[in-house]
Amino acid sequence: MPRLLWGMRVAAVQTTAGPDRVANLESAAGWVEAAARAGARLVVLPEYFSVAGGPDVLRDLAEPLDGPTVEWARDQARRWGIHLVAGTFPERPAGAGATGGRLYNTSCLIGPTGSVDAVYRKVHLFDVALAGTSFRESATFAPGDQLCVARVGEGPGGEDDGGALVGLSVCYDLRFPELYRILTLRGATVVVVPSAFTAATGLPHWELLLRARAVENQVFMIAAGQVGRLPAGMPDCHGHSMIVDPWGTILAQREDPTPGVIVADLDAGRQRTIRSELPVLANRRPEAYRWPNDDTRGTVGTGG
């Protein structure tokens, strides 16, 4: 396999997962192979790609960090010589007391030798009421508290030339721009977004948010989504997996509401030009920024 260089060819995989982990992984393996054979050196899988279902299913099939999902991902990355973002899976923490018995919704970046290069536990949990239906991700999962940026590959000049820095995020994180700004300030040039974005919000918000995060941070966004009807206890999903460049241009998207894979080439030179000619990151004024003390601002109270 050729060495991964920055720019690079990347892929986002779209799936419709169910409660059968073996079947889900077998299906995902076919799409990973298709992406690798198309030349992708970084492949991103969706949220809940290995196990999808209600809280009981997720608890029953939760696994440790060295469990079957990550072992499968390590094998796939080694087999194809790629970097693989293993979407998310329900992780059972080693010490459950710290999370009150809850799981983590965990994403891993696997290197081409099978190394686990980064672990990100979803920070923002999907606790919402949409069209009369409530979803409380926090009843099953505990939030992570660490943001994550990891190096992928090398630049043309070798290791010291950098390669790409990839920021990790998951689905509902997309609505919290501060997370993406921090990833960018830590050096991220590419951000991945494994997702199970709801059909109810997908049409008005999915593309809008992905392009906004790309433009305001001048990063590439690689968003891999679940699509269609998932098992009971989970919302129907929007799909439309998408790869967006730092100008907000959609490089690839899966418009067909079925599983599949999309591929695009990321042009590092274009990113450098955009950041040079429109230097929004350099023009920041952090000395003028003050966070409000009230972290409930913007919520609707029920008191008098």
SS3 (DSSP) at 75? helix
Cα radius of gyration rounded to whole Å, the chain: 19
Cα dist from 75 to 68, 89, 128, whole Å: 10, 16, 36
Q: Which residues form the catalytic set?
A: 47, 122, 171
The span from the CA of 16 to the CA of 22, in Å, is 14
β-pair partners for 110: 84, 116
Backbone angles phi, psi at 255, to 5 degrees: -80, -25
Helix (H, G, I), strand (E, B) or coil at 30: helix
Structure letter (DSSP) for residue 141: B
CB neighbours of 182 closer than 8 A, spacing ≥ 6? 147
Owner of token pair 């999915």: 206
Alpha carbon separation from 199 to 24, 203, 236 (Å, rounded): 21, 7, 6
Distance of alpha carbon 182 from alpha carbon 174, whole angstroms: 13
What is the C-alpha separation between 188 and 130, in angstroms, rounded?
32
What is the rounded distance in angstroms from the CA atom of residue 5 to the CA atom of residue 156? 6
Does an H or E element contain 190, and which? strand 190-195
